[in-house]
Amino acid sequence: MADHSGGIYGFMFAQYFPQKLYMDLCVVDDGKGIFESFNNCDKYKPVSHVDAIEMAVNGVSTKVGQENSRGFGISTSRRMLVGGLGGRFFIWSGRAGYLEQKGNAGNSFELQGNQLFPGTFVGLRIPLNPTPGFDYIQYLD
């Protein structure tokens, strides 16, 4: 998020659930959000907040001149968490959100009314008992 948000503040919250064997991690910023980040780059112009969320979770990047050095972006983290670890992934930015968990294909949605989050909120439910055979190397771009 730091590469794109333009925000002043970022927050990270974590809670460990030892009996349930998972950890919840939330990363939040007060930046311009995913839709504005795409609209401020010269490469892509989403038509809606939902379109921007879908582009981000599917690997479209707003980084300019860094096509081969994306690192652990939104799409890589999502695939690794859900597909590799069996966790849950949630993102909310602007007027749209996206939720995905193992066994349920991810879906994006538009928020109704005046519900707007100006920055970006990412929520991760990380299982503490990884899927047998999990290898993070499989998920690197």
- pLDDT 10s digits, 79-99: 999 999 999 999 999 999 999
Q: What are the structural domain ranges in the chain?
A: 10-139
Name every residue whose Cβ is closer than 8 Å to that of residue 86 and which is 6 or more positions away in sequence.
Answer: 102, 127, 130, 131
Cα(115)–Cα(28) distance, rounded to whole angstroms? 16
- pTM across the whole model: 0.87
The residues pairing with 43 across neighbouring beta strands, listed in sequence order, are none
Rounded to an integer, what distance in angstroms lies between the CA atom of residue 74 and that of residue 72? 7
CA distance 32 to 29: 9
Q: What are phi and psi of 63, to 5 degrees?
A: -65, 130
What would the pLDDT profile of 21-46 be if each residue is shown by its tens digit?
999 999 999 999 999 988 888 788 89
